[in-house]
Amino acid sequence: MVLLKPTYNINGDVTDINLDALAAAGIRGLIFDLDSTLLAPHSGILTEEVAHWLILVKERFKVAIVSNNRRAIYIDQVQKILDMPAIGQAAKPSRKGFFKALEILGLEAAEVAVIGDRPLTDVWGGQRAGMKTILVRPLKTMNEPSWITFFRNLERILIKS
């Protein structure tokens, strides 16, 4: 299905994204998925590697988070830890959360890339909102249950078709 093909498919986690290439492509803002992309799910714990990478990101890009996580307390906590606006209960692939993030960033959809680990929520939602999309693998430091890995691999088969 063509709709699920990300603009960029990274064979690594978020820290493997080439920031120079994004800037050269005219990207001025980044909207991140939260769980498995920036933090281990529901942990609120930022690894040193991701923390360092985010410092570099914030020097060059406007940033925000759009998450399907429904826990307002967690989203508030993450917003403080990461020092960036965070929108929870986004119901991705709905465009609503992405449009709200665009408003916060003060950018047009064509200037923004959505970064996430799930084709059916992050990639599809970002595409529906008119943005470039970057599909990453879950964080290198994560250990997932095998059933989650199975569904991730199934989603990735869809984008290769």
For residue 117, what is the domain's CATH number?
3.40.50.1000
**What pLDDT shows up at residue 139?**
74
Q: Tell me the C-alpha distance between 59 and 52, whole Å.
A: 11
Q: Are strands 132-135 and 112-116 parallel, antiparallel or unpaired?
A: parallel
Number of domains, the chain:
1
pTM of the complete model? 0.88
Residues 6+ apart with CB under 8 A from 7: 113, 132, 133, 134
One-letter amino acid of 89: Q
Q: Which domain holds residue 79?
A: 2-160
Per-residue tokens: 41: 């799910």
Per-residue tokens: 135: 């599909």
* Span 83-134, pLDDT tens digits: 999 999 999 999 999 999 999 999 999 999 999 998 989 999 999 999 999 9
With beta carbons less than 8 A apart as the criterion, state whether 118 and 134 touch: no
